[in-house]
Structure formats: structure tokens, C-alpha cells
Amino acid sequence: MKTIDDLGDLRGRRVLVRSDLNAPLEGSTITDDGRVRASVPTLKKLADAGAKVLVVAHLGRPKGEPDPAASLRPVAERLGELLGADVRFAEDTVGEDAQRVAGELQDGEVAVLENVRFNAGETSKDDDERGAFADELAALADVFVSDGFGVVHRKQASVYDVATRLPAAVGGLVLSELEVLKRLTEDPERPYAVVLGGSKVSDKLGVIDHLIDKADSLLIGGGMVFTFLAAQGHEVGTSLLESDQLDTVRGYIEQAVERGVELVLPTDIVVAPEFAADAPPTVVAADAMPSDQMGLDIGPESAQRFAEAIGEARTVFWNGPMGVFEMPAFAAGTKAVAQALADLDGLSVVGGGDSAAAVRQLGFADDDFGHISTGGGASLEYLEGKTLPGLAVLEGDA
């Protein structure tokens, strides 16, 4: 893959950058600007080189048409604060305002185009429709830089098709993400622990399949653990359960034994009668859950065991919270795992998505960890061994 340094002199050239600015909003207030901050180094490098920088990005899941609640304007304002410079904003993505802003940009200036997903062509499954929109995007620029790691697993116009229409390179954020993921998959320093949580086993099947013969230990928490406990014949009450995955999970339990992978499951669970922040929590043994209660976090004994297992490792990948971290009564397990990663003498990787949101909400700083991924889904698909279209097109393998 070509990098920005391979593009030659960029002064005066219009560079279209696919960034990931998908920040959570409450009204017009950004509640977690991690992805916005992560986009800054590449944009600053291009601006410092004298490029005219046009940022294309998405926010939320608008249905191919404008939605004021998903406007990128608040994100563009925050980006300007982080860059320490005025950032212009186009009211559309490829229309008259985008063309005007692109034409007026001066060397070293940055502009953000309105949410790319306001255009049906961005996510279309029809190659011609997507390609026609990519033609409009490409017409705004001379060069394309792919720097939105959180979307490289998507075959979308601003990720994939534009790269076939302009001289293209990969940005620094994507390069840094790939460097870490290669350390996790090609030659991890051992012991290597994989910590998985979140709500559903089905979301993590590919990761378990691909890493169960690479990891030394596999720690399972979150809502997905109840399918593991049920597979062992335990009562899980009203907890989240994927009954259709029981046989698959039994197979994983057997594989772990056969391959000498330590499978660490909770020995105690924090339960409550309902899914509510004010529901009274109770700690019970994992093999003695009441039939009328639901599990909402791993228990304190399990949290300590997980922290010890993480502390014994030299490389740890974590994806998925251990419980309902948004509710204080059920956040202790996730916080214990995050603290153990922060204390790790080795490489700690937080796999984006809810895990990244959790560590920030629980008061941790990004630099407490070796790496916080900006792309939960992209990270998981890479670790599953899948081909990511946004990378393949830059490698010439699409």
C-alpha cells in the first residue's frame, strides 16, 4: 500500500480524506471525541504539507437522505478546535456547496463535507449506483487518502470505489491500526490473552474460531457468557441466551481443552430481577443462578480472577464489556478488566466499539492503554481473517 509520503509534493493539491468521525452525539454535544482526536494527526500532516484537505465521513445510520440529527457540523467544529485552525463546512457532500467549498480552499486549509451517508449511493449494493456517487466524490479532488479504519470493512463509495478513481494512499491512523493488529495475529508476545464480552456469542464466533489456536488464554464475560454457562448445563435465569449457539459453544469448550487454551469463565455473577439501573444487585455463584434473575455483570471473585489472568499475560486483546457498564451497579467487572489492562506490563489493545466507550466513561485515559482501536467491527473482521475491502483496494487485491 502506498502511504502519504509516496504521493509526492501535495502543496496546492486537493486531497479527499476518508476519515472516521462517527462520534456519539447528545443533541449537538459530542459525548466521546476519541475518533475525532484520532483523525487529527493525518489531517494535520496533510495541511502542513500545503494540501487542500477535504474530509469525507459519516455519522450514525441515516437512510440515504439528509437528517439534521446526523449532521457533521458539530464534529467539524470540534475538529477545528483540535487542529487549532478554522475548518470549513460544506452543507452537502457532492452538491453545489461542496463544489464551492472545494474550489475556495486555500493551501493548508481543511474542510468537512456533510455526512456522506445522506447520499444513497454511498452504501448502495448496486455497483453502478455506488460508482456514480464515487465519480462525484472523486471529481472534488486530485488524490485520495484512506484514514477511516472504522469503515475499511465496508465496500462503500467513499471507502472502496473512490480509491479506484484517484491516486490513493493509506493514512497514518490506518497504518497504526494495522501494525497493532499484525502484532496480535502474526507473532504475539506470550503469554497472549484474549478477553471477550458484549451481548452476543454470535457476534464473536469468527474471532473465537480464528484466535482459539493462537491465544494462550480466553476469558469470556458479558452477556455472551450465559450461553457458555448454559452449554455447561447451568441455569442462567432470564439472562441473555442464544440457544441456537449452544452446540457451537460446546465445541469451543472442547477445542480449548484439546489445544491447551485456558478457558476462563466467571465463577460468580451479579444478578438483578430486571434490566434497570435501580434494580437491586445480588452476587450469586455462576452455577447457582436463580431462575427469576438476570445476570448483568461478572462478580467480584471473577473480576479478580480475570485481572490476575490479564496480569500474567504479555499481550492482551479485549473486545466487549463484562457487564452493563452504563449502569454503576453493574460496571465493576468492566472496570476491573480495564484497570488490569492499564496496569499491564506488555501490549494492551482495547478493540474499539463499546469497549472504547466503556474505558472512557469509566474514567480511563487513552494513553493508559497500548492501543485503543477506532474500529470495533473492522478490528474483529481483521482478527477473523476476513478480507477488508477498503484495504484490499489499496493493495490492488480487490
Identify the sign of the CA torsion 150, 152, 156, 159.
positive
| Structural domain range at position 76 | 4-172
**Residue 398: inside a domain, yes or no?**
no
Catalytic-labelled residue, pool 121, 353, 375, 376: 353
Confirm whether residue 61 is marked as ligand binding: yes
Summarised one tens digit per residue, pLDDT across range 230-257 is 999 999 999 999 999 999 999 999 999 9
Q: What are the cell numbers at 86?
A: 478554522
Mean pLDDT, the chain, integer: 96
In order, the DSSP letters of 116-184 are GGGSHHHH-S-HHHHHHHHHHHHTT-SEEEE--GGGTTS--TTTTGGGGTS-EEE-HHHHHHHHHHHHH
The pLDDT value given to residue 377: 87
Which runs of consecutive H residues, i.e. helices, occur in the chain? 34-48, 73-83, 96-104, 120-123, 127-138, 172-185, 205-211, 225-231, 246-259, 300-311, 332-342, 353-361, 376-383, 389-395
> Do residues 62 and 204 share a domain?
no
Mean pLDDT, residues 106-133: 98
Domain final position from 172, 191, 218:
172
Contact 48, 61 (CB under 8 A): no
> Do residues 208 and 116 share a domain?
no
Active site residue 360: no
pLDDT beyond 80 at 36:
yes
The pLDDT value given to residue 206: 87
3-state secondary structure of 192: strand
**pTM of the predicted protein model:** 0.91
pLDDT beyond 90 at 398:
no
The residues pairing with 3 across neighbouring beta strands, listed in sequence order, are 170
Contact 236, 266 (CB under 8 A): no
The pLDDT value given to residue 354: 85
Residue keyed to cell 481473517? 385
> Do residues 324 and 247 share a domain?
yes
Summarised one tens digit per residue, pLDDT across range 154-176 is 999 999 999 999 999 999 999 99
Confidence of residue 375 (pLDDT cuts 50, 70, 90): confident
Mean pLDDT, residues 271-282: 97
Confirm whether residue 343 is marked as ligand binding: no
Q: What are the cell numbers at 280?
A: 437491586
How far, in Å, CA of 291 to CA of 82, rounded? 51
> Do residues 111 and 228 share a domain?
no
3-state secondary structure of 52: strand
> Do residues 139 and 200 share a domain?
no
How far, in Å, CA of 244 to CA of 231, rounded? 11
Confirm whether residue 20 is marked as ligand binding: yes
Confidence of residue 371 (pLDDT cuts 50, 70, 90): very high
The pLDDT value given to residue 397: 63
Contact 333, 298 (CB under 8 A): yes
The residues pairing with 190 across neighbouring beta strands, listed in sequence order, are none
Active site residue 305: no
> Do residues 272 and 317 share a domain?
yes
Confirm whether residue 352 is marked as ligand binding: yes
Summarised one tens digit per residue, pLDDT across range 183-216 is 999 989 999 999 999 988 898 988 998 899 899 9
3-state secondary structure of 372: strand
> Do residues 155 and 237 share a domain?
no
> 34-48 and 73-83 are packed helices; what angle lies between their axes, rounded to 10 degrees?
60
pLDDT beyond 90 at 368:
yes
Active site residue 200: yes
> Do residues 140 and 251 share a domain?
no
CATH number at residue 217: 3.40.50.1260
Q: What are the cell numbers at 151?
A: 469503515
pLDDT beyond 90 at 139:
yes
Catalytic-labelled residue, pool 35, 130, 155, 360: 35
How far, in Å, CA of 72 to CA of 86, rounded? 15
How far, in Å, CA of 364 to CA of 348, rounded? 13
Confirm whether residue 35 is marked as ligand binding: yes
Confirm whether residue 295 is marked as ligand binding: yes
Exposure class string for 346-378: b at 16+ Cβ within 10 A, else e: bbbbbbbbbbbbbbbbbebeeebbbbbbbbbbb
Q: Minimal CA–CA distance to 75: which of 145, 24, 151?
A: 24
3-state secondary structure of 302: helix
Summarised one tens digit per residue, pLDDT across range 312-358 is 999 999 999 999 999 999 999 999 999 999 999 999 999 977 899 89
Summarised one tens digit per residue, pLDDT across range 18-33 is 999 999 999 999 998 9
Domain final position from 150, 172, 194:
172
pLDDT beyond 90 at 98:
yes
For the chain, percent of residues with pLDDT exceeding 70: 99
Q: Minimal CA–CA distance to 56: which of 96, 12, 102, 6?
A: 102
Contact 10, 43 (CB under 8 A): no
Active site residue 148: no
Q: Total domain count for the chain? A: 2
The pLDDT value given to residue 396: 78
The pLDDT value given to residue 353: 79
| Higher local confidence (pLDDT), 77 or 398 | 77
